[in-house]
């Protein structure tokens, strides 16, 4: 599997805090990588460095064969990388369709083409019936799916999802997981998923990368990571690890 993303020795410092400390990993084209760790582990900072919102003090980020370290977010987006954010703020009086169009404008300056493209994406995600509703009137689960639609409008090769399941109930998490799988399987989008909902990230991911205090403490198959003593101690806890391994057993 060729590497679509290569992160090497990435370090980001805020004052005396090393939020990311020598992080290295790769993501293969077509892969789903789960990114987990306790609060403050440096997961979102890593996303910021990869997508151009922060410039690392050291290290490199290569995407699709090109060094993109320190490039601004809009240039990285046009190269085929998109992301969502932990907190989604519904945009003023925009409708669902207009919100989805925002991402499409990274690929076209034509409002009519952006509208056609946004309608197609909303239909793909099962949101077509909501197109004319004000996005602020949607529940949290609906708004997060529209955020996914906006990101898809940029036509990404790589999509970074930052805690998209936060605040959702179990039924909504299941629907979101189905939508993410649909994007991956039908659009061929490579994914990196930050998530605290372990049922989602462990069942969705091909591999899992674990951060703690800004460093990589483990990476591997979900079953391997769930069995790793360092991960259990730093994040999962004995009860979750035992339950996950029992459920994953044939």
Task: Give φ, ψ of 237 to 5 degrees.
Answer: 85, 155
Residue reference for tokens 């490199």: 60
Structure tokens at 73: 């977010």
pLDDT at 37: 94
- In this structure, what are the phi and psi dihedrals at residue 140, rounded to the nearest 5 degrees? -55, -45
Q: How far apart are CA 30 and CA 185, in angstroms?
A: 9
Lowest mean pLDDT among 33-37, 83-87, 109-113, 204-208: 83-87
pLDDT tens digits along 149-207: 999 999 999 999 999 898 899 999 999 999 999 999 999 999 999 999 888 999 999 99
Q: Given its phi and psi angles, is residue 92 left (phi above 0), alpha (psi -120 to 50 degrees) or beta?
A: left
Positive/negative CA dihedral, 176, 77, 130, 140: positive
- Mean predicted confidence (pLDDT) in 13-24: 96
pLDDT for res 219? 96
Which pLDDT tens digit goes with each residue over 94-113? Answer: 999 999 999 999 999 999 99
Structure tokens that stand for 213 in this block: 């205090």
Q: What is the mean pLDDT of residues 24-31?
A: 97
Distance CA 34, CA 191 (A): 8
Q: Please name each of the domains of the chain with its CATH number.
A: 3-248 (3.40.50.300)
Q: Is the pLDDT of residue 241 over 60?
A: no
**Distance separating alpha carbons of residues 177 and 161, to the nearest angstrom:** 12
């Amino acid at each position: 599997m060729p590497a679509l993303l290569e992160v090497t020795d990435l370090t980001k410092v805020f004052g005396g805090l090393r939020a990311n400390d020598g992080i290295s990993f790769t993501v293969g084209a077509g892969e789903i990588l789960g990114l987990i760790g306790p609060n403050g582990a440096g997961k979102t900072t890593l996303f910021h460095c990869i997508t151009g919102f922060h410039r690392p003090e050291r290290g490199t980020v290569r995407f699709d064969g090109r060094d993109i370290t320190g490039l601004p977010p809009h240039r990285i987006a046009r190269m085929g990388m998109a992301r969502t954010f932990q907190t989604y703020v519904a945009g003023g009086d925009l409708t669902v369709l207009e919100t989805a169009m925002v991402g499409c404008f990274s690929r076209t300056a034509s409002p009519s083409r952006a509208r056609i493209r946004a309608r197609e994406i909303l239909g793909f995600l099962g949101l077509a019936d909501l197109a004319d509703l004000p996005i602020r009137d949607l529940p949290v689960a609906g708004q997060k799916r529209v955020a996914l639609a906006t990101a898809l409008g940029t036509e990404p090769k790589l999509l970074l999802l930052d805690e998209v399941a936060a605040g959702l109930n179990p039924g909504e998490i299941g629907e979101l997981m189905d939508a993410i799988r649909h994007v991956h399987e039908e659009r061929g989008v490579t994914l990196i998923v930050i998530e605290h909902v372990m049922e989602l990230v462990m069942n969705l991911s091909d591999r899992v990368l674990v951060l703690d205090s800004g460093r990589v403490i483990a990476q591997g198959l979900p079953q391997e990571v769930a069995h790793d003593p360092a991960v259990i101690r730093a994040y999962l806890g004995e009860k979750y690890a035992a339950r996950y391994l029992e459920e994953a057993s044939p």
